[in-house]
Amino acid sequence: MLTNADITELTDFRRELHRFPEISGEERETAARIGAALAPLKPDQILTDLGGHGVAAVFNGAAPGESLLLRAELDALPIEETGQPAYRSTIPAKGHMCGHDGHMTILMALARLVARKRPATGRVILMFQPAEENAAGAAAVIADPRYAQIKPDWAFALHNMPGLPLGHVTLRAGTMMCASQGLRIQLTGKTAHASMPETGLSPVHAVARLIPALLALGPGGALTEAFRMVTITHAHIGEPAFGISPGAAELWAKLRTRDDAPMAALYDEATALVRAEAEKDGLAVNFLTQDAFSATVNDAQAIARLTSALEALNIPHDDRNLPLRGSEDFGRFGEAGTKMAMMFLGSGEGHPQLHNPDYDFPDALIAKGTAIFHKVMTDILG
């Protein structure tokens, strides 16, 4: 069990992480803080710079057995914090507005418990993963040749969730979160004097047609197998000048499907639509893709393990509001035979939503999240 001193120290640790957020791919100092906090706990192995700035601490059990991985995320968001806690972000336009500081602290709390009493069998891998927010991190960690040393039989993660009662858990077997992909559409024509737009090739009309047409491809609705959603997230046309008819534009769209398989068809329809509209106005077109998330699909056996732990701890749980339309890259850890599951841990029904500028992780969840992970670990490894 965590002591009162543990909780005090871990709360301070979480708030220190909160003060110094780093966005995806830039988590060097956050990873260094994690490594420094892990070192006194003497894991049997610490792997650093996994898939970027990832850190994995390995604690071996007393006898051979299965490997169990628990994951937290290192990265923050490019959002200016508007809340006013004493430990608010010191980095302009960056903040832990998703609670990854809390997730890291839960794993650090678990590291304390494992260091005091190793599992009876197998090994525990505490994975502090980079670049979750842009979908690059899990794939990069798995692609790192050293991941083969720690490839787990089981993998678990949690995410705090505003809107749920504090400490309430939602989970389900099967699809938990949607697949999504960012599509950057670049249209190129020719600039002209604003008084003679007919002498150039402006993308303005194409963009005006494309926005409603792309939205119509993915109207959202119920999260059935047929679910598709397109969200326009950014548009840029020309330069900020009154004397120039623009010659270039860029439109960003997030494509979303419940499952992985339908994504290819939605992408093909979206790009075909753009090509047709660009051709009408004689525009060149280029596509870039990024932030590509696979669907998060929970393994039934792993969910059974989580559910058993929740019941043993008398933590209320159900499958309300699932699956979610959001995306997560943790699902990639379920590839190649690993039994994987993710759950949501309630942050409070009136709590600011994830990615809101006044969001802050509730410190009351540190002990509860740690207890759940510790119970799952001891149930599997002893």
DSSP letter at 149 equals G
Helices (H), the chain: 4-19, 28-38, 100-116, 137-143, 204-217, 263-280, 300-312, 365-381
- Grade residue 177 by pLDDT with cuts at 50, 70 and 90: very high
pTM: 0.92
CATH number of the domain residue 19 falls in: 3.40.630.10
Containing structural domain, residue 94: 4-177+295-381
Beta strands (DSSP E) in 163-209 are 169-170, 174-177, 179-188, 192-193
Nearest to 78, CA basis, from 93, 89, 90, 88: 93
32 and 70 share one domain: yes
Looking at the fold, whether 229 and 374 belong to one and the same domain comes out as: no
Same domain flag for 162 and 187:
no
The CA distances from residue 280 to 80, 93, 202, 209, 272, in Å, are: 41, 40, 11, 11, 13
Q: Are residues 193 and 103 in the same domain?
A: no
How far is the CA of 27 from the CAs of 86, 338, 382, in angstroms? 22, 26, 34
What pLDDT does residue 217 have?
98
Q: Of 292, 312, 338, which residue is a domain's last?
A: 292
The C-alpha atoms of residue 113 and residue 308 are separated, in whole angstroms, by: 20
- Per-residue model confidence as pLDDT tens digits over 37-89: 999 999 999 999 999 999 999 999 999 999 999 999 999 999 999 999 999 99
Cα separations in angstroms, 146 against 140, 156, 214: 11, 20, 41
| Res 95 pLDDT > 90 | yes
Verify that 224 and 366 share a domain, yes or no. Answer: no
Mark whether 133 and 165 lie in a shared domain: yes
Q: What is the spatial distance between Cα 361 and Cα 373, in angstroms, rounded to a whole number?
A: 18
pLDDT digit string (tens) for 343-364?
Answer: 999 999 999 999 999 999 999 9
End-of-domain residue from the set 292, 311, 342: 292
Q: How far apart are CA 359 and CA 264, in angstroms?
A: 34
pLDDT at position 336 is 74
pLDDT digits (tens, 9 = 90+) for 189-237: 999 999 999 999 999 999 999 999 999 999 999 999 999 999 999 999 9
Are residues 145 and 163 located together in one domain of the fold? yes
- For residues 372 and 369, what is the distance between their CA atoms, to the nearest angstrom? 5
Which of 292, 320, 348 delimits the end of a domain? 292
Is residue 315 within 8 A of residue 368, CB to CB? The reply is yes
What number of CA atoms fall less than 13 Å from residue 108's CA on the CB side?
A: 29
Sheet containing 228-237: order of strands? 228-237, 248-257, 179-188, 284-293
What local confidence, expressed as pLDDT, does residue 1 receive? 86
Q: Which residues contact 78 (CB under 8 A, 6 or more apart)?
A: 23, 93, 94
Q: Which residue has the tokens 């000048």?
A: 241
Q: How many whole angstroms from its chain centre is CA 323?
A: 15
CATH of the domain at 217: 3.30.70.360
Q: Are residues 279 and 341 in the same domain?
A: no
**How confident is the prediction for the chain on average, in pLDDT?**
97
Quick one: 154 and 14 in the same domain? yes
Structural domain count, the chain: 2
Both 56 and 150 in one domain: the answer is yes
Q: d(Cα 192, Cα 170) in Å, to the nearest integer?
A: 56
Whole-number pLDDT of residue 337: 86
| pLDDT, tens digit, 9 for 90 and up, residues 286-343 | 999 999 999 999 999 999 999 999 999 999 999 999 999 999 999 999 987 899 999 9
Residues 20, 163: one domain? yes
Nearest one of 264, 284, 260, 262 to 274, comparing CA atoms: 284
Claim to verify: residue 27 and residue 157 sit in the same structural domain: yes
**pLDDT tens digits along 24-36:** 999 999 999 999 9
- DSSP β-bridge partners for residue 237: 249
Identify whether the C-beta of residue 327 lies closer than 8 Å to the C-beta of residue 256: yes
State how far the alpha carbon of 239 is from the alpha carbons of 196, 205, 232, 246, 247, in Å: 16, 16, 20, 7, 9
What local confidence, expressed as pLDDT, does residue 335 receive?
A: 81
SS3 content of the chain, % helix, strand, coil (to 5): 35, 30, 35
